[in-house]
Amino acid sequence: MSVDMIDIGRVDDVPLRGARLVQTAMGPLAIFRAEDGALYAVDDRCPHKLGPLSQGIVHGHHVTCPLHNLVIDLRSGEALGPEGGCVKTYPIEARAGRILLDVSALRRRGAA
Amino acid sequence: MDENPALTPETAHMPKREKLVIIGNGMAPGRMLEVLLDLAPEKYDIAIFNAEPRVNYDRILLSPVLSGEKSFEEIIIHGDGWYIDHGITLYKGHKVVEIDRAAKLVRSEHGAVEAYDRLVIATGSLPIIIPVPGATRPGVLTYRDLDDVTAMLLASKSRGDAVVIGGGLLGLEATAGLAEQGMKVTVVHLMPTLMERQLDASAGHLLAKALERRGITVLTGANTKEIMGGTHVTGVRLEDGREIPASLVVMAVGIRPNIALAKQAGIETHRGIIVDEQLRTSDPAIFALGECAEFGGATFGLVAPLYEMAKVLAATLADREAAFAPAATATKLKVTGINLFSAGDFADAPGREEIVLRDAARDVYRRLVLEDDRLVGTVMYGEVSDGVWFFDLIKSGAPVGAMRETLIFGEAYASGAPLDPMAAVAALPDEAEICGCNGVCKGKITAAITSKGLTDLDGVRAHTKASASCGSCTGLVEKLLQLTLGETYLPGKPAGICPCTDLGHGDVRRLIIARELKTIPDVMQALQWKSSGGCAKCRPALNYYLLATWPGEYKDDAQSRFINERVHANIQKDGTYSVVPRMWGGMTSANELRAIADVVDKFAIPAVKVTGGQRIDLLGVRKDDLPAVWRDLNRAGLVSGHAYGKALRTVKTCVGTDWCRFGTQDSTGLGIRLEKFLWGSWTPAKVKLAVSGCPRNCAEATCKDVGVICIDSGYEIHFAGAAGLDIKGTEVLGHAKTEDEALEIIAGLIQLYREQGYYLERIYKWAKRVGTDTIRQLIMEDRERRQALLARFIHAQKFSQTDPWAERAMGAEAHEFSPLADLSRLEAAQ
């Protein structure tokens, strides 16, 4: 697997229990930082009605969509609850206070 | 070393011994030698080079030496006698500077030379020095060996200020030790919670509080920028500009394997010295052991895996079969009075479940992480006696399903036959205390149930007070009801705020005040939240309750607010926002309308609508544009209308005596006065007002949360109306003779609602729950109480009447409104 990690900013610029957006040619990506500091990158589109997940309340390793309260598990991208649904997740990591995002996965998203 | 080994009769007939040389005399080689001497006492002639000028001591116990609880003599593992007894040559204070692999020799800096058949490198690790300006200034110490401890003890004699950089295991032990020696210590930690590698956020929070109770200042999320001073350190400057004075700075941010010697000798290294499962390096005659060794891509710093390595290497050197396999490790903090324990892997992951137990009264937090019916990790704070048992379960990987219900209570509870929680309660003796707050025992509760014919929790609470205070024994009381009444008892559905707690809104509000809980983590710990970080339901509620209870003291938690209240605009279905400026009493002007029109043009806002609350709504504003839109609106004097908040929304008015031929009072003027007085206050749910100038009621005041109908003799004040999901006419609260009196009544009512309402409960629902008569009595008949409510409202308003738009137009919370990065061009280019 080709890995192409690029630096997208400082870890501290994403609020704890919060999110920031990254604009990409394929649409916005939400970068989450959970209470324990874990980082997640997912498409900023709720599988239910395309709500901007980055605007939701982050609790534990979940986010609640601001439009209709669907809860997404950020670790798997799976929606909780009977309706289900899934949002795409991307490899991301913190190194020395910086956030590294795997852009090869983004490109694969573009190709898909 | 003896240069002419005498050929005595004893040595002459013995087979020639092999020569084993060890570089480093830490705990791992010490343990290795003990095992080796047991397995093969005659196999080797042994020589040890120790860079430290002393014998082998227990490095783990340096912290008790620092805190003064132990002396150096008490932590020695092998005294001089031990080396003599075993015929081991110990070079104290000899640092090895060269390994000659071709000649199989090592040489110390003092010129001592030893030949080896087999060589063990156990050079340990070096403290990491963060490369900030001033890092080498005198007064900056690390925390690795006895010399560091001696230097710290000397420095602490000044009883001055110390800063410890690093809130990990080692840093906190140094912190506590220095505090014990009488220094005023600040610990500066880069990560958001202490010991984040060994603890989760909840336990880290409890730890920080325990340290703070000892007078230690804990700064998390703090990045050191510079160590200040001249010939000696004077303090630490953080990246955010804060300066902390200090005459001693201890850097305890981590360790790195000490591999210089091995590297120089051409042995394969990476982060550590690379070894196979027999601890053999790339040179088959040379082994590496301890913190300097790297196996399977990992290096090791805790004693358990290091001792495991020692065992394996001893066996290998004794020519026996053994292989190193790192096992799960457990951590304990060695600070007297602070008990914490963690083991295994307790990170959240898909397919994992957590069981959380909190006992607020004793500051106990316990979290178990399960995967596939097996315990994989645990974090414990406060009560750690079951740590070893949980750790055994993690290591054995035994299925825990059969005792899952009671697992969290520990070994005493879960061992033997799996206990059903009901049976456990049944087995309690009559004298067992059930309710700690009110000192009620089991016998008293069961007796009351039988003799008074009690059938529910409320009955038990009324007659015995059991579970009537903190409520944490509610579950036990319910089980007693069930045991005593059998099938006839139908427990009520727990009316918790959310699945994170069994406590309802009322209990939570009451306990926040009773126990003076002032932060969300405090509430979650004290009230024994069942999740580690709450959820989207309870966090906004707690944030409101704390804000309403402790105005000026509680710091609003933006991340616990719904997006609308976080960005001060209303999210729309397409992710854009709507913006509604305040129009006091529904009045506007050419100047305001012109500013709105200009904003609509400038930002190409697609829709403009007149709202039902006598204001103008700009729909479809892009999030990035919000601060600029607000800046332009602010310039014309327009401020946030809080159309997005659980807060005062509009005060709708008619034109009253200003224009209307039927008007009895200045309804517009009163509406504006009310709006100016009440705006900015946060409430359990939205609050809409209206003031009508006569009973014809053009402002539709009788379906509002609070409405005023002006009459000749004054003001009729209404409340508890609804015109949404439910339609309900208002109730009359009372009559006011003057505008001032009307204002006092309405502010008193809103403050009572702020103090009693449940989060998201509109005024009409609150009134239905507590009774309109009760409210009327409190507000209209108890003047003293009303004035006290008014005073509390005015106090709270001091902290809430700042225009959130102006703050953000000036740059506050800028991260909310701009993307972190823009990769669209980058991708396009590739």
- Nearest 5°: phi and psi at B751? -65, -40
Q: Would B551 be classed as within a structural domain? A: yes
pLDDT at position B358 is 83
Q: Would B414 be classed as within a structural domain? A: yes
Contact A17 B815 (CB under 8 A): no
Same domain membership, residue B476 and residue B402: no
Q: Would A23 be classed as within a structural domain? A: yes
Q: Are B225 and B238 in contact (CB under 8 A)?
A: yes
Same domain membership, residue B233 and residue B167: yes
Q: Are B742 and B753 in contact (CB under 8 A)?
A: no
Alpha-carbon distance of B799 to B435, in angstroms, equals 39
Q: Which of B200, B536, B562 is the closest to A36 by Cβ?
A: B200
Same domain membership, residue B27 and residue B144: no
Same domain membership, residue B665 and residue B778: yes
Q: Contacts of residue A24 in chain B, CB cutoff 8 Å?
A: 823-824, 827
- Nearest 5°: phi and psi at B171? -60, -40
pLDDT at position B404 is 81
Tell me how close the Cα of A56 comes to any Cα of chain B, in angstroms: 6
In this structure, the dihedral spanned by the alpha carbons of residues B446, B452, B458 and B463, taken in order and rounded to 10 degrees, is: -80
Q: Would A16 be classed as within a structural domain? A: yes
pLDDT at position B230 is 85
- How big is chain A by its Cα radius of gyration, in Å? 13
* Range of the structural domain that residue A54 is part of: 5-106
| Structure token digits, residue B430 | 């009559």
Same domain membership, residue B674 and residue B784: yes
Q: Would A18 be classed as within a structural domain? A: yes
Q: Would A111 be classed as within a structural domain? A: no
Contact A59 B200 (CB under 8 A): no
DSSP character string of B589-631: -HHHHHHHHHHHHHTT--EEEE-TTSSEEEEEE-GGGHHHHHH
Contact B563 A17 (CB under 8 A): no
Same domain membership, residue B295 and residue B281: yes
Same domain membership, residue B464 and residue B406: no
Number of domains in chain B: 6
Angle, vertex CA B202, rays to CA B358 and CA B404, nearest 5? 45
Q: Which of B539, B562, B819 is the closest to A22 by Cβ?
A: B819
User: What SS3 state is found at B300?
Assistant: coil
Q: Would B189 be classed as within a structural domain? A: yes
Contact B827 A25 (CB under 8 A): yes
Q: Which one of B317, B350, B366 terminates a domain?
A: B317
Interface of B with A (CB under 8 A): 190-193, 196, 200-201, 221, 223, 347-350, 531-536, 539-540, 558-564, 567, 571, 573, 575, 815, 819-828, 830
Number of domains in chain A: 1
- For B736-766, letters b (16+ CB in 10 Å) and e give beebebbbbbbbbbbbbbbbbbbbebbbbbb
Q: Would B324 be classed as within a structural domain? A: no
| Structure token digits, residue B19 | 């020569």
Q: Which of B119, B30, B133 is nearest to B83 (CA)?
A: B30
Q: Contacts of residue A65 in chain B, CB cutoff 8 Å?
A: none
Contact A75 B193 (CB under 8 A): no
Picking from B823, B825, B830 by the largest number of A CB atoms within 10 A of its own CB, the best residue to mutate is B823
Alpha-carbon distance of B504 to B489, in angstroms, equals 21
Q: Contacts of residue A19 in chain B, CB cutoff 8 Å?
A: none
Q: Are B575 and A51 in contact (CB under 8 A)?
A: yes
Q: Contacts of residue B820 in chain A, CB cutoff 8 Å?
A: 8-9, 13-14, 20-22, 31, 99
CB atoms within 10 A of CB B825: 11
Q: Which of B193, B201, B536 is the closest to A64 by Cβ?
A: B536
Same domain membership, residue B264 and residue B152: no
Tell me how close the Cα of B472 comes to any Cα of chain A, in angstroms: 24
Q: Which one of B543, B558, B573 terminates a domain?
A: B558
Please name the residue that has the structure tokens 């054995």.
B396
Q: Which of B191, B559, B822 is the closest to A37 by Cβ?
A: B191
Q: Would A78 be classed as within a structural domain? A: yes
For B436-469, what is each residue's pLDDT tens digit? Answer: 666 678 888 999 998 888 888 878 877 787 876 5
Q: Contacts of residue B827 in chain A, CB cutoff 8 Å?
A: 24-26, 103, 106-107, 110
Q: Are B335 and B410 in contact (CB under 8 A)?
A: no
Same domain membership, residue B195 and residue B61: no
Q: Can you give the CATH number for the domain in which B205 is found?
A: 3.50.50.60
Contact B575 A37 (CB under 8 A): no
**B493: DSSP letter:** P
How many contacts, defined by CB atoms under 8 Å, are there between A and B? 129
Angle, vertex CA B290, rays to CA B289 and CA B291, nearest 5? 130
Tell me how close the Cα of A83 comes to any Cα of chain B, in angstroms: 18
Same domain membership, residue B159 and residue B91: no
pLDDT at position B465 is 74
Low-confidence ranges of chain B (pLDDT < 50): 1-12, 417-419, 493-494, 828-830
Q: Can you give the CATH number for the domain in which A66 is found?
A: 2.102.10.10
Contact B559 A28 (CB under 8 A): no
pLDDT at position B488 is 72
Alpha-carbon distance of B617 to B569, in angstroms, equals 11
pLDDT at position A2 is 46
Q: Are B49 and B96 in contact (CB under 8 A)?
A: yes
**Residue A95 pLDDT greater than 50, yes or no:** yes
Q: Would A17 be classed as within a structural domain? A: yes
Q: Would A59 be classed as within a structural domain? A: yes
Q: Which of A20, A38, A71 is the closest to B815 by Cβ?
A: A20
Q: Would B325 be classed as within a structural domain? A: no
Tell me how close the Cα of B623 comes to any Cα of chain A, in angstroms: 11
Q: How far is CA A37 from CA A43, B556, B746, in A?
A: 19, 20, 45
Same domain membership, residue B545 and residue B496: yes
Q: Would A35 be classed as within a structural domain? A: yes
Picking from B498, B543, B559, B565 by the largest number of A CB atoms within 10 A of its own CB, the best residue to mutate is B559
Q: Are B745 and B756 in contact (CB under 8 A)?
A: no
B561: closest chain A residue by CA: A57
Q: Contacts of residue B813 in chain A, CB cutoff 8 Å?
A: none
* Range of the structural domain that residue B431 is part of: 426-558
Same domain membership, residue B118 and residue B267: yes
Q: Contacts of residue A2 in chain B, CB cutoff 8 Å?
A: none
Q: How far is CA B525 from CA B363, B364, B521, in A?
A: 8, 9, 6
For B555-570, what is each residue's pLDDT tens digit? Answer: 999 999 999 999 999 9
Alpha-carbon distance of B595 to B579, in angstroms, equals 13
Q: Which one of B523, B558, B593 terminates a domain?
A: B558
Q: Contacts of residue B200 in chain A, CB cutoff 8 Å?
A: 36
B199: closest chain A residue by CA: A36
Tell me how close the Cα of A93 comes to any Cα of chain B, in angstroms: 15
